[in-house]
Amino acid sequence: MSKYIVNRDAQGIVWFTINRPEKWNAIDYDVMNGLLQTITEVEENKDDRIFVLTGAGKKAFCSGGDLSVFQNLQTVEEAYQMLSKMGMILYKLATLSKPTIALLNGLAIGGGCELATACDYRLASRQSRFGFVQGKQGITTGWGGATLLLERVSIDKAFHLLMTGEVISAEEGKELGFIQHVLSGDDVMKDCEEYISKEFLHTPKVVKAYKKVVIRKWLATGLKERMLKEMEDCSALWVTDEHLEAVRKIMRKE
């Protein structure tokens, strides 16, 4: 069974589904590679208009990195290699010249929140919950998520999410400005399609031009360099006793 599924519809929507429900749709190297390949294709394919990210099932959007794989990273260099690989995929996602949507259909924690933050829009089912829980594991956001979050919400709201590590509801996320829309129905993909039909009224060329305005701002303010510095900070924390012990506790529970 494929760890991810890519579907294209007649409206030019590309649906990327992380297909690891038994792992709470955690990200491993295969998912990373598939995501990178698909983002590259969407950028180059003129028929692809919008990119939507979601997770299989109803339990989770994405639970972050797969610790059963990444627990073996024992040095700063090994940690940075993984963090920068995924971090630069998120940078590529954030700077995609076409609209991107994170369709939160369940739990989004840790790196799952970073993945959602890289998207232009975050739509959430009523039962979905999310939280930047990395601090409770003795590390910071490692894929550039804090840098991206500060581009999405005000500093005080970003600090609240990052410093507390609280897991909050979709409605609370909307109040903070992190979630743009809470979906009311049970069919989140259908609701997402309806949102897209109302939100993107202009031609693809006009939409792309507006996205370039944001991308130019990020180029001028060194978004990539700031994200890379964040990954360096996380790499140093990755090998601390606090983080290694937190990972051991999580793996014992599994």
- Chain-wide mean pLDDT for the chain? 96
So what's the pLDDT on residue 120? 98
So what's the pLDDT on residue 116? 98
Amino acid of residue 3: K
Domain assignment present for residue 229? The answer is no
Distance CA 159, CA 75 (A): 28
Which pTM was predicted? 0.96
Distance CA 113, CA 153 (A): 14
**Model confidence at 254, in pLDDT bands (50, 70, 90)?**
low
The alpha carbon of residue 195 and the mean position of all alpha carbons in its chain are separated, in whole angstroms, by 19
Asked whether residue 201 carries a pLDDT value surpassing 90, the answer given is no
Q: CATH number, domain at 78?
A: 3.90.226.10
Domain assignment present for residue 146? The answer is yes
Distance CA 56, CA 103 (A): 11
Asked whether residue 253 carries a pLDDT value surpassing 90, the answer given is no
The per-residue pLDDT for range 224-236, each reduced to its tens digit, is 999 999 999 999 9
Q: Within 13 Å and on the Cβ side, how many CA atoms surround 138?
A: 16
Domain assignment present for residue 254? The answer is no
The per-residue pLDDT for range 58-94, each reduced to its tens digit, is 999 999 999 999 999 999 999 999 999 999 999 999 9
Percent of the chain with pLDDT over 70: 100
Residues 166-185: what's their mean pLDDT? Answer: 95
**What are the angstrom distances between the C-alpha of 94 and each of 83, 120, 122, 206?**
16, 7, 13, 18
**CB-based contacts of 38, cutoff 8 Å, min separation 6:** 6, 14, 16, 51
As for how many domains the chain has, the answer is 1
Domain assignment present for residue 137? The answer is yes
Domain assignment present for residue 52? The answer is yes
* H or E segment to which residue 50 belongs: strand 50-55
So what's the pLDDT on residue 19? 98
The per-residue pLDDT for range 98-107, each reduced to its tens digit, is 999 999 999 9
Q: Structure tokens of 175?
A: 């109040």
So what's the pLDDT on residue 184? 87
Domain assignment present for residue 230? The answer is no
Domain assignment present for residue 207? The answer is no
Structural domain for 39, as ranges: 4-199
Domain assignment present for residue 246? The answer is no
**CB-based contacts of 92, cutoff 8 Å, min separation 6:** 36, 39, 40
So what's the pLDDT on residue 202? 83
**Model confidence at 97, in pLDDT bands (50, 70, 90)?**
very high
